[in-house]
Amino acid sequence: MNELIYYDLKQISGLSGSLSTQVSKELGRRIVAGIYTENDLIEDENTLSNRYQVSRSVVRDAVKILVGKGMLEVRRGIGTRVKPRIEWVLLDDDVLAWHQSAPFRIDFFNKLMEIRLIIEPNAARWACERGSNEKIRKIVLAQKKMEDEKGSIEDFVVADAQFHQSIIRAADNEILESMEGVIISALLNSIRITNKDPRENTDSIPFHSEVTDAIVKRDPDLAELSMKKLLGDAEKRFKKESTIFKLN
């Protein structure tokens, strides 16, 4: 479900597309999930064509899509090999979305959190300094939506993601905005561990409220500090839950 939430938040389709796109998504999910591991050779065109009931040309085009994402390499006379993760285009929207359906990777989550700690406090500061009144209003609305949500964990997750997304967009930096997928992916990953019970949703609301109030007041120092506190709380709760579930 989180994979679809990711696509919805990014306002891109996770379902429609050509046959080659659909096959590339199936293969991509398997690679991210570790079913195909680094340096593995995936099945040949005939096998994949029979499995997915498509033509060999569709399989060939699907492979080209994943080659473009740095996940596969075609070697003449040898086959199609899975490339090391370090060569993947990890900020690609599909790659980030496929991580939502794959087994949880604590190492990947920690790296996403490191990027959040760099980006979001500064984004909150810049939202104060550069955000239009309309963009700040969207931050307020997202935070209010979080407060009003009493039962649905999915709706709360969407509101939470929209809150952080709205701050990124209010920072008025197109390069920063192109990286918002990292924020969404990290948030959805953490929700899988830290917010399974909707009754616990209100735990993080006061931290979000502090960030909102600081941005509305156009106080960049306070906004930056409040965002650091929010992320610190999220990291603390994650560490607690990861200990309980013995994640490694």
Please report which confidence band the pLDDT of residue 44 belongs to, taking 50, 70 and 90 as the band edges: very high
CA distance 214 to 220: 7
CATH 1.20.120.530 range(s) for the chain read 104-244
Span 2-87 CATH architecture: Orthogonal Bundle (1.10)
pLDDT at 41: 96
CA distance 203 to 226: 15
Phi then psi for residue 159, to 5 deg, are -65, -40
Amino acid at 122: N
Percent residues over pLDDT 70 in the chain: 90
pTM of the model: 0.84
Mean pLDDT for the chain?
89
CATH 1.10.10.10 range(s) for the chain read 2-87
**Residue 56 pLDDT greater than 90, yes or no:** yes
Q: Are 100 and 93 in contact (CB under 8 A)?
A: no
Q: How far is CA 234 from CA 149, 191, 227, in A?
A: 19, 10, 11
For residue 119, give the 3-state DSSP assignment: helix
**Residue 199 pLDDT greater than 60, yes or no:** no
Note the CATH number of domain 104-244. 1.20.120.530
Please report which confidence band the pLDDT of residue 240 belongs to, taking 50, 70 and 90 as the band edges: confident
